[in-house]
A and B are shown apart, each in its own frame.
Chain A
């Protein structure tokens, strides 16, 4: 995949050691990448820590970026790997030392009548909890495909699995979230 001209120029400068070019190149995706980490980790402090690590690894490894995928895909793949490492570290912490308990407060839904707003708020909360209960590989699949809106091809590449394996994870994730929330709550909230 050939990068866009401006991106190609920034990439060349970054490879030669220009940190400003690297920041400009990666900065274009920083907000989206941080949002992805928030979705995968559920904790702003941990997301910030991992985002810094992603950018460090990208900087140190940029000369090895071959351009076979887009720079965005390459950066996202580093982010997913680092998020999974963070989740693995979290799972090995002694019980009772919890990171991720703080729920991320995101913008509320557009104004609507109080009953619908309450339903919507409850559904969002239930969704966040159900997503955080998923094993990392299933959470990654539903976040990349449904929340991030990536194509199956792109999401599978970022997750580092075949499209068939990615689809299998996505369907499993949706079934588990559906079971956790229940059809009644989903259908009612969906109107």
Chain B
């Protein structure tokens, strides 16, 4: 992943906040984004927002409390007489 020049730091950083939070940047790029964010309120806030976004999606809902309806196998049961398809030759 290319490293931008100083003039492009802000736009590049804004486009790579998810990469930063995900740990997908190489060390040099990561340091560059972190250094830019230290002096850029928008990008510092962007990092916090991206972390909050990931956290919020993780907590949007849970598996607990939602069960698959019992009818989930109905069509498979109807097809049972034919049995599963033969394996491909």
Contact = CB atoms under 8 A, between A and B. Distances in A.
B58 A31 contact: no
B84 A34 contact: no
Interface residues of A, number: 56
A38 B86 CA distance: 31
A158 interface: no
Contact of B84 (A27, A60, A186): A60
Contacts of B68: 30-31, 33-34, 51
* Chain B CB within 10 A, most for which of A30, A33, A124, A190: A190
Contacts of B57: 127, 131, 142, 146-147, 177
A48 B71 contact: yes
Contacts of B46: 178, 183
Interface string B18-59: 110010100000000000000000000110111111111111
Interface string B46-89: 10111111111111111111111101111111011011111110
Nearest to A167: B24
Contact of B60 (A53, A127, A187): A127
Contact of B83 (A17, A53, A182, A186): A17
B18 A62 contact: no
B15 interface: yes
Nearest to B85: A60
Query: Chain A interface mostly helix, strand, loop or mixed?
Result: helix
Nearest to B67: A31
Contact of A55 (B19, B72, B82): B72
Nearest to A48: B69
Contacts of A189: 52, 56
Interface string A7-41: 00000001101010011001100111111001100
B64 A107 contact: yes
A1 interface: no
A17 B87 CA distance: 12
28 contacts: A19-B73, A19-B76, A31-B67, A32-B63, A34-B72, A48-B72, A51-B68, A52-B72, A52-B75, A52-B76, A56-B79, A59-B76, A59-B79, A60-B79, A63-B86, A64-B88, A106-B61, A109-B59, A146-B54, A149-B58, A167-B24, A171-B19, A175-B17, A177-B57, A187-B48, A189-B52, A190-B48, A190-B49
The 6 residue pairs across chains A and B that have the minimum distance between CB atoms:
A190-B52, A34-B68, A106-B61, A183-B49, A30-B68, A59-B76
